[in-house]
Amino acid sequence: MNKRIEELAPAGIWKNFKKITQIPRPSKKEARIVEYVKKFGENLGLETHVDDVGNIVIRKPATTGMENRKGVIFQAHLDMVPQKNSDKQHDFEKDPIEAYMDGDWVKASGTTLGADNGIGVAAMLAVLESKSLSHGPIDALFTIDEETGMTGAFALKPGQLKGEILLNLDSEDEGEMYIGCAGGMDGNIEFEYIAEKVPLGYVPYLIKISGLKGGHSGIDISLGRGNSNLVLFRLLWKAERVNGLRLCEVEGGNMRNAIPREAHAIVLVPEGNEKTFLELTREYEKTVSGELAATEPDLRIEWSKTDMPVRMIQADLQKRLIASVYSCPNGTIRMTDGIPELVETSTNLAIVKTDPSRIHVNCLLRSSVDSAKENLANSMRALFEMAGAHVSFTGSYPGWKPNMDSSIMKTMDKVYQTKYGKKLEIKAIHAGLECGIIGGVYPNLDMVSFGPTIRHPHSPDEKVHVASVQKFWDFLVDTLKNIPVK
């Protein structure tokens, strides 16, 4: 298949998605995409509002004969996760995404694609500009900053939206419908220190962890993938004890909601211990590569001599830092009772980074059970406070409790069965959707989430299945025709 992206079907989605890929839109840097969508609505002559934080609501009146249908709110987020391979030169605040066809999938060259949630945004733009669809009253809600705090959804106020049904377009498996999601919170751990001068008698080494798959810290957390921070700190813990290693600098991960793929550290090895350090590192590489052979076949652990750093971390703090990060909970904590394939509680050891006076450790905790989320936070607080760190938890957002009596769920399931001859798979998801927050402001909304098939979001392996986008669009169109009357 050699078509350009904008030539794929359905034309309305792909034409708009191609344009979106040309507009840089990492989280908290959405000004250009906000302006683009605002002008898009205004140029169509539609009622368009931008609130104080940058959320956009565009209203489209019902088509003739559909005025008595319940109002529908379409919702998607404008920002994307900026992740790239280490050998890719790309500035997410300036450069367009290089999307291309690869068989039945659309991918990006060395970066995240932004199909999460760009396909949902593109579908909403296609609905707004279409002159052939049959539909009742529509509100199109485009939120900002979903990926790093859901601050757009948190800023919504009563009265901004008029519909009775919310269709969230931020799910990633065609043929599935989500009616619930996990809540989450950010863990913020900080160590303060005064750097020490580097003494004589040490050899500086750079240790690099790379080649991991990474992925979405909710959707992919149960896949057993490696976490670059834990791979690195496991080695640091061993080398500290065996070789007298001293730590000068460490950096791993850069997004709370992305499983970290790469990490590095600059360390000092006593001159007499170089041989045992290198032997330990080689043996460690074999061990970890063997453990993760099935999930991380491209894992690389590299080490090389480097320039002498100007500072190092105090010995006592180094010991406390390495031990606490190495011991930090990570990955799946508990599965959901009665639904063994669904994660209930998890955490992602997302970021570890030093600067000249502080060391930052950031995690994203998720759970569909509020008490379990609180318990996980308390256990992490106990661990890191014992290690002498300052600990806080921020950005807590609620889960979305499933409503098995949802009217729109039943309507859409019937539409799907009629169209495709099989039932929708009705599920909850271990990821944060904005539905829980929006539902807190508009408690009477009937909400569901659906979308096309997207794989490996939040990583440079992200891809969207072309045929599923057509099915997603056709299903969306037929859903609008069958929205219940008021």
Catalytic residue list: 79, 146
Q: What are the φ and ψ backbone dihedral angles of 359, each rounded to 5 degrees?
A: -125, 125
Per residue, the 3-state secondary structure of the chain, as one string, reads CCCCHHHCCCHHHHHHHHHHHCCCCECCCCHHHHHHHHHHHHHCCCEEEECCCCCEEEEECCCCCCCCECCEEEEEECCECCCECCCCCCCCCCCCCCEEEECCEEEECCECCCHHHHHHHHHHHHHHHCCCCCCCCEEEEEECCCCCCCHHHHCCCCCCCCCCEEEECCCCCCCEEEEEECEEEEEEEEEECCCECCCCCEEEEEEEEECCCCCECCCCHHHCCCCHHHHHHHHHHHHHHHHCCEEEEEEECCCCCECCCCEEEEEEEEHHHHHHHHHHHHHHHHHHHHHCCCCCCCCEEEEEECCCCCCECCHHHHHHHHHHHHHCCCEEEEEECCEEEEEEEEEEEEEEEECCCEEEEEEEEEECCHHHHHHHHHHHHHHHHHCCCEEEEEEEECCECCCCCCHHHHHHHHHHHHHHCCCCEEEEECCCCCHHHHHHHCCCCEEEECCCCEECCCCCCCEEEHHHHHHHHHHHHHHHHCCCEC
Within 10 A of 454 (CB to CB), how many other CB atoms are there? 28
The type of residue at 344 is E
Residue 21's CB is within 10 A of a number of other CB atoms, namely: 23
Beta bridge mates, 58: 48, 140
